Structures are given as structure tokens and as C-alpha cells.
Amino acid sequence: MRLRIGVIAAALATAAATVITVAATPASAAAATAAFVQTSTWGSGYEAKYTITNGTSSTINGWTVAFDLPGGTSISSSWDSNRTGTSGHVTFTNSWNGTIAPGGTASFGFIAAGSGTPTNCTLNGASCGGGTTPTTPAGTPGVPGNFRVTATTDTSFTLAWNASTGTVTGYRVYEGSTVRATVTGTSTTVSGLTAGSTHTYTVKAYNNVGESAASNSVTATTTGGTTTP
């Protein structure tokens, strides 16, 4: 009888230890995220806000949020951050709000002209949604800088940009999603346009790995066209 009681007690002790072990297993740590919301809209633009939430167990000391804006949309002003760029690929870094404790948040906002919303958003190099995959594969060229119009005629634009970092095979100039020119240098002329017509372009670098994010967009109007007397 005593032997049976001892066996039962040992089994209960083993079961209790098993329950304690399972209960003590910590849940997987969440990721840091950056959520976008339009706080106000009007016909020609909108006001927006990004909220960065630190869902990890470690303090964030400095953050960078980067994203792409489609052609025809640009940022006219922003606050609670330091911004690089106004259109195409835009980057925001912390100003006074760089330290975010676990479970804490920080935010910044901006005014956009146009209706396009951000895509390819990253927070400190990872997806703003909490993933870990970069927006472009490793080895893809950097974004061309300082995209600009250097000359305008009745039927053409001459465009130029700064060379991308990394290995570059060439550059593609886009009007919307349509490629208007493919070149190996850092300038090109888009011709055959209508006098007095307005166009918006971006440029992307490419190599055998893939294509960079879009540059800032430029919008210009050819000279000539019909004038009202």
C-alpha cells in the first residue's frame, strides 16, 4: 500500500513539474512597427502621421523610416523628424524623439501634395509591418539622387541625376509605370512630346540583381503650345 502511494505521489509531482515548465515558457518577442494613417484629406493633398511602436523587449535608440511615394505626390512639410527628400524615395529620422522604451511609441507627421500614399515602407531597414525582409534584394543599386530637368523645348526634356551607389548596369526613366528611356549614363533626353504638355518622371538604377527604388519625381511642362490672347 505504501509503495502504491509513493508511485502516485511521484507521478503527481512529475505532472506538476511539467505544467510549471510549460507555463514558464516566454512568448515570442513582437517586432517594432511603423503605422501610417491619413489624419486629414482634401482635394489636392492630405495630412498624414506615422506612429512607431516598440513591441520588442529592448529600447530603440534612434529610428529611420523610409518609403516611396508614387509620381505626382510630394511632401511639402513635416514635423517631429528630420527629412531627406520630398518625392520618390523619402527618408525620415528621429529628432528629439529617438529613444523608445519597450511598449512605447513615437510619431511624426507630414503634409503631402497629391493623393499617392507611401509604399515599400521600412523601419530601421525592416518592414514597417514588423517583418525582416528589406524592400530590395542585397546587391541592388542605390537610389539615383538629385533627379532634375536641365533643359526644356517645345517637344522634349533633358533629364539628369546623380550616379547610384553599388554596381550599376544602367538606368530606366519612367513616366508612371512606362519606361521612356534606358541609358547607361546619368542623363537622357525624352523627345517627341507635345508643346505645352506636362509630364512627371522618375528614374531607377538596375543591375543583374534587381532595380532600385524610384528617385524623387520631377514634373515639367514643355514650352510652346496654344496661348490665350
Dump pLDDT digits (tens) for 55-96.
999 999 999 898 888 888 999 999 999 998 898 888 899 999
Q: Are 111 and 158 found together in one domain? A: no
Which cell goes with 226? Answer: 496654344
The answer to the question of residue 72 being in a domain is: yes
The answer to the question of residue 186 being in a domain is: yes
Non-local CB neighbours of 33 within 8 Å, separated by 6+ positions: 52, 53, 55, 123, 128, 129, 130
Q: What is the pLDDT of residue 226?
A: 64
Identify the domain boundary among 98, 127, 156. 127
The answer to the question of residue 70 being in a domain is: yes
d(CA 81, CA 125): 17
CB 183 within 8 A of CB 193: no
d(CA 147, CA 200): 11
Q: Are 118 and 154 found together in one domain? A: no
Q: Are 46 and 121 found together in one domain? A: yes
The answer to the question of residue 227 being in a domain is: no
CB 199 within 8 A of CB 193: yes
Instruction: Supply the CATH number for residue 48's domain.
Output: 2.60.40.290
d(CA 50, CA 112): 13
The answer to the question of residue 27 being in a domain is: no
Instruction: Supply the CATH number for residue 196's domain.
Output: 2.60.40.10
Q: Are 53 and 119 found together in one domain? A: yes
The answer to the question of residue 18 being in a domain is: no
The answer to the question of residue 192 being in a domain is: yes
Question: 32-61, pLDDT tens digit by residue?
Answer: 999 999 999 998 999 999 999 999 999 999
d(CA 100, CA 43): 35
What integer best gives the mean pLDDT of the chain?
A: 83
Q: Which domain holds residue 151?
A: 145-221
Q: Are 121 and 38 found together in one domain? A: yes
Q: What is the pLDDT of residue 6?
A: 54
Number of domains within the chain: 2
The answer to the question of residue 10 being in a domain is: no
Q: How many residues does the chain have?
A: 229
Note the Cα 70 to chain centre separation in Å.
Answer: 11
Identify the domain boundary among 100, 127, 154. 127
> Is this structure's pTM higher than 0.75?
no
d(CA 39, CA 45): 11
Intervals of the chain under pLDDT 50? 3, 7-8, 12-29, 133-135
CB 221 within 8 A of CB 154: no
Largest CA distance in the chain: 115
Query: Which of these, 96, 89, 108, 29, lies nearest to 62 by C-alpha position?
Result: 96
